[in-house]
């Protein structure tokens, strides 16, 4: 559990050797598989906490999350929406089950991905992108095979609405049963996927069930996904940032000295103020 509202499996860094370095620019991934939360008058979630040096990307599949940060951003993300927060030089953040969702209870399923920032951008001004489902790019596969929803980067002729500091592709493949989709990213990128719903076959001979994480090697540019049943697959691919990583808790910098500075700035109140 992260706080009392997010039941997650940590895939990055998880058990991956050299975790953050191997997965760069993706430095953390918590996957909240589909889970029923009973009604609660007090919304579950995570209280005020700091971030510096990276971006947090939250993708909602079931349930609703309310969030606030010390830069003055707030809102609710529901099914199909994305919250892309650039912590950069530092923000305080809190996130909870949305009030009405909490009162009713229901299925909850989300992904939170941390995307690293290059050293030159780590101390830039915090930013925020609220991306609703109707703003996400959509590519219709031929033959009614399904849809590729493009959050960031591009697929075929469709671009995603998210602005990124380094090249990042992030998309949902929503495939009908028996459908097939092909993808191509540079072999030098870090590429991975999660099967959100259903089950798929990757590259013709790898059966991947629901809730499994797949990390690709670096020996090719192309792969295919074939759905054995109706499926949703989250696909991520990003250009590596070839810089040192110094990480501790909610801070991801390049040196130990920068981590110490981050903690000192947090303790001095330089991240702003946010009520719990």
Low-confidence residues of the chain: pLDDT under 50: none
Is this model's pTM higher than 0.85 or not?
yes
Can you give the C-alpha Rg of the chain in angstroms? Answer: 18
Look at the block and give the residue holding tokens 């990055």: 12
Task: Name the token pair of 29.
Answer: 């991934």
Q: What domains appear along the chain, each with residue ranges and CATH number?
A: 9-133 (2.60.120.10), 137-238 (2.60.120.10)
pLDDT of residue 163: 98
Q: What is the pLDDT of residues 158-197, one digit of tens each?
A: 999 999 999 999 999 999 999 999 999 999 999 999 999 9
Cα separation, 125 vs 21, in Å, equals 25
First to last CA, the chain: 19
pLDDT of residue 85: 97
pLDDT of residue 17: 72
Q: What is the pLDDT of residues 7-43, one digit of tens each?
A: 999 999 987 778 889 999 999 999 999 999 999 999 9
pLDDT of residue 19: 81
Cα separation, 5 vs 45, in Å, equals 4
pLDDT of residue 271: 96
């Amino acid at each position: 559990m992260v706080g009392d509202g997010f039941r997650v499996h940590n895939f990055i860094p998880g058990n991956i050797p050299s975790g953050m370095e191997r997965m760069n620019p993706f430095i953390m991934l918590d996957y909240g598989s589909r889970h029923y939360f009973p009604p609660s008058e007090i919304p579950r979630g995570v209280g005020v906490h700091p971030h510096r040096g990276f971006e947090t990307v939250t993708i909602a599949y079931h349930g609703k999350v309310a969030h606030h940060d010390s830069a003055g951003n707030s809102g609710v993300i529901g099914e199909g929406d994305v919250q892309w927060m650039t912590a950069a030089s530092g923000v305080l953040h809190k996130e909870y089950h949305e009030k009405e969702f909490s009162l009713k209870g229901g299925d909850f399923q989300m992904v939170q991905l941390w995307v690293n920032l290059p050293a030159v951008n780590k101390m830039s001004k915090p930013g925020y992108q609220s991306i609703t489902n109707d703003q996400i790019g959509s590519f219709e596969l031929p033959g009614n095979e399904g849809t590729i929803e493009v959050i960031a980067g591009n697929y075929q002729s469709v671009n995603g609405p998210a602005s990124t500091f380094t090249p990042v592709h992030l998309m949902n493949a929503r495939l009908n049963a028996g459908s097939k989709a092909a993808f191509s990213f540079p072999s030098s990128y870090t590429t991975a996927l999660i099967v959100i719903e259903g089950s798929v076959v990757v590259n013709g001979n790898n059966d991947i069930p629901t809730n499994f994480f797949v990390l690709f090697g670096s020996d090719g540019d192309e792969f295919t996904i074939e759905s054995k049943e109706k499926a949703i697959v989250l696909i991520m691919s990003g250009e590596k940032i070839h810089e040192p990583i110094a990480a501790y808790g909610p801070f991801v910098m390049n040196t130990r000295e920068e981590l110490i500075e981050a903690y000192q700035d947090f303790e001095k109140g330089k991240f702003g103020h946010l009520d719990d």
